[in-house]
Amino acid sequence: MQAKEIKKDIYWVGVKDWNLREFHGYATPHGSTYNSYLIMDEKITLVDGVKSYMSQEMTERVKSVVDFSQISYVVVNHVEMDHSGNIPEIMKLAPQAVIITDNAGKMALEAHFDTAGWNYKLVTTGESVSIGKRSLTFMTTPMLHWPDSMMTYVKEEKLLLSNDGFGQHLASDGLFVNEQPLDLVVNEAKSYYANILFPYGAQAEKALNTAGTLGLDIEMIAPSHGCIWSGKDEVNTILGLYAKWASGKNEGKAVVVYDSMWGATAKMAETVMAEFQDAGIPVTKHCLAVENVSEVMVDFLDAAYVCIGNPTLNNQLFPRVAGFVTYMKGLAPRGKKALAFGSYGWKPGVVKQIQQVYEELGWQTVAPFEEKYTPKAEVLEQLKERVRELIKL
């Protein structure tokens, strides 16, 4: 396993997880990578680890450049196990190394592992550490998306090692964005943001502002998942997209999400969609029977209107709808206008559970809409009117 140079004397020493198809309920059809970086300087520095069971591949890549006994620093930007799982093995191979992290990172490492004998250098935002010809500047980014998250900037290389920020779950033959179709990388970056960083828009905005305050001149962003953004154009593209997504601003679109048992709720979903189309509002429709929740959430990033349809089962939300609503609530989208609708057999009221979630999220709503069994033409007209009420909010 060979390391791959991304800048002079800076190497990618990560691993590619070609078979990953799910990450905490988030569909990952293109696999993923766990990117680690090795900086060869007077004080050799290794940045981030990988999953524990993939450690051998990573350590062989490091050894293709340098022996672990020569490593001075191990930077831990984030303690989630896909980036820290093999840190204990790294520290066995390099017991002389000092771990650079922030205070939250140290506490998280101690909560995960037996850290007896490990030495630390704790850093805060704006603090720099010289490693020879280069210096590392650190930027803590708490809750983007864990309390311990931080980023490392290599000033002389104009390189930001951003950990989860700006990443994508995407395994590919190459390492760089320009080796892939740009649309593919951007779509995967959007999916990553929507399914992992969505609740932390304020923290993302703060990180972007902090980078500006620190005067970071960035020409390459090397995240810990997916492809590396190289050159001002690519860097500005992803920074601009993050600013947009973090702002919570919508594009006036509508998204209709539903499941159905005998077609009644599906017919209602079609009616809702058609009404948006008649009003000239772009709309997407997702059936949870055939789509993963993570695919649906991408459309929530810039949607103004959300309509969720449910077929009642055993006086409860249908399981796939319930799972989606729980998943969506955890991601906490902001500023939506919403309608809950659905069908039932003998007892109404279940869609009020969806309505309650809307209200907990602080969304604007219209009254929920339910119909017994199959909705007739006149009922569908009433549903259209409810959609028109929603559009007027």
333: nearest Cα among 245, 218, 253? 245
Is 192 considered catalytic here?
A: yes
Is 78 considered catalytic here?
A: yes
From the candidates 17, 41, 48, 82, give the one annotated as an active-site residue. Answer: 82
From the candidates 26, 37, 78, 370, give the one annotated as an active-site residue. Answer: 78
Phi, psi at residue 239, to the nearest 5°?
-65, -40
> Token pair of 187, please?
């779509």
From the candidates 17, 26, 41, 145, give the one annotated as an active-site residue. Answer: 145
Is 234 considered catalytic here?
A: no
From the candidates 148, 164, 299, 371, give the one annotated as an active-site residue. Answer: 164
C-alpha distances (whole Å) from 334 to each of 16, 219, 330 are: 34, 32, 12
Is 183 considered catalytic here?
A: no
Is 225 considered catalytic here?
A: yes
Is 30 considered catalytic here?
A: no
Is 373 considered catalytic here?
A: no
45: nearest Cα among 112, 134, 113? 134
150 with 172: CB under 8 angstroms? Answer: no
Is 82 considered catalytic here?
A: yes
Residues 6+ apart with CB under 8 A from 379: 371
151 with 165: CB under 8 angstroms? Answer: yes
From the candidates 192, 193, 305, 358, give the one annotated as an active-site residue. Answer: 192
3-state secondary structure labels for all residues of the chain: CCCEEEECCEEECCEEECCCCEECCEECCCCEEECCEEECCCCEEEECCCCHHHHHHHHHHHHCCCCHHHEEEEECCCCCHHHHCCHHHHHHHCCCCEEEECHHHHHHHHHHCCCCCCEEEECCCCCEEECCCCEEEEEECCCCCCCCCEEEEEHHHCEEEEECCCCCCCCCCCCEHHHCCHHHHHHHHHHHHHHHHHHHHHHHHHHHHHHHHCCCCCCEEEECCCCEEECHHHHHHHHHHHHHHHHCCCCCEEEEEECCCCCHHHHHHHHHHHHHHHCCCCEEEEECCCCCHHHHHHHHCCEEEEEEEEECECCECCHHHHHHHHHHHHHCCCCCEEEEEEEECCCCCCCHHHHHHHHHCCCEECCCEEEECCCCHHHHHHHHHHHHHHHHC
- Residues labelled catalytic: 24, 78, 80, 82, 145, 164, 192, 225
